[in-house]
Structure 1
Amino acid sequence: MLYITGTPIGNLEDMSYRAVKTLNEVDEILCEDTRTTKKLTNHFDITTPLRSYHDFNKEEVTEDIVEKIRAGKHFALVTDAGMPVISDPGFELVSRLQDENLPYIVIPAASAFTMGLVASGIASYEFTYFGFLPKSSSKRQEKLSEIMHHNMTSVLYESPHRMKALLEDISKIDDERIVSISREITKKFEQHYRTTATDLLSKLDKEIPLKGEFVVVISAYEEEAVQFTGSAKEHVSSLIADGMKPKDAIKLVAELRGLKKQEVYDEFHK
């Protein structure tokens, strides 16, 4: 059996009884960083052996795990914080167990992005989780443009040293867009702010220290809020100027204006 076991995202008191019991009873704990997980197991007097499972060894380790589960061994898969598999390795192992018809169980815990969404005060009926933005400048701008023109609430992670640049880029595209940022969730200095990106910029390094991982929630794109009244061609051009790919801009303009993609394509390429 594999137990996909959620752990606290910051406050160790959030560890569930079921998770502690499971980590005590399995034969081995698979973890991203044994040093991080050791702090958790030491806190709860768990003596189960730890084994590294990360992006650099997952292929070779997966084969061994599958063979041992088939032979009757029990494993727990944990991440450094929160739910395994989300923005972390693990889906490959789950997929392999499905293919082999081998058992697994999910033991729940919090994820930072769901906590940030709940605390944001932004509509969460429909949302998309984007994880971390690409590191490459061009790909980062392209992805952010997609997010800023997305018709659902968007949730992403950002590191402290990139937060200022992110809020500046959001402000350039739409300085009135409502954004929420959360940091140090479940910890002593937990913070949540919801306002415009421009206003958030003025609070960085003052009211909001640039420390700890940030959860960023961006309200959905609404055409009415942008009040673009030009032609379809001009509308496409403005989206491209914001960093969107031409084909994506054409598709979005067609959806927003109730036109066929071919109509917008033809007008844009006149």
Structure 2
Amino acid sequence: MSRPSVLVTAATGKTGRRVADRLAALGHPVIRASRSSAQPLRWEDPASWSPALDGVDSVYLCYHPDLAAPEAPALVEKFTAAARDAGVRKLVLLSGRGETNAQRCEAIVADSGLTYGIVRASWFNQNFTEGSLLGPVLTGTIAMPAGGVAEPFVDLDDVADVAVALLTDDRLTGRAYDVTGPRLLTFAQAAAEIADAAGRAVTYLPVTAEQFHLGLVAEVGPDYARLLTDLCTEVFDGRNAALGDGVERALGRPPRDFADFCRQAAAVGAWQQ
């Protein structure tokens, strides 16, 4: 008997790609959906949802650009209803730790009547290698409106492993998993560890929210710049300055340390210009 299909949304993104690859390696039929994939799924186009959901048993739900976006709860609610109507049995949501809109989306999924799991994360280690912070690392200055707040940076491989565990093991569902690294780090400390591993000068520059916003506009446009700025303003108040045990609870092992991530990233040339 063939295994049931799993729909992975945002399948070309940082988490979606890892989740889809792991599921495929385990022998699960995977439908990789994104804006540009063979199976397109566009959040602003509900007509694209039904073909992607056809015949699917489980869904990894990763909303792009972020659950902090104002429209996210309404779209997640509509998508969850569409998934239920299509016969989907399970939803696993990637949620944002400490984000008000993300909490609304968590409640929608939990109240959907479907089997569910929630992977709740904050800042990814890989933002420094394949995300918005790679450029600043290469230029030597990470400018963020985080002050001296500490964050529980989490490795994307841990996030993906937990998501796959929730998708494939019903014993783990029906709850949220706060996934973090094993240490709290300020951005200044993270920059110092990157600099040490990469053998290059990297420093952290604390900036105001408005300075951060102005610096982003030319790079990502005013709308996304405002979304990122508002998100930083919301979460950089210390609310996430605590460790979670989601990796240990889901996988039975400790999370990957930031220093190990830095050493591996440097070894493969992630920070070579």
**Above 0.5 in TM-score?**
no
TM-score normalised by the chain length of structure 2: 0.34
Which structure has the greater CA radius of gyration? 1
TM-score normalised by the chain length of structure 1: 0.35
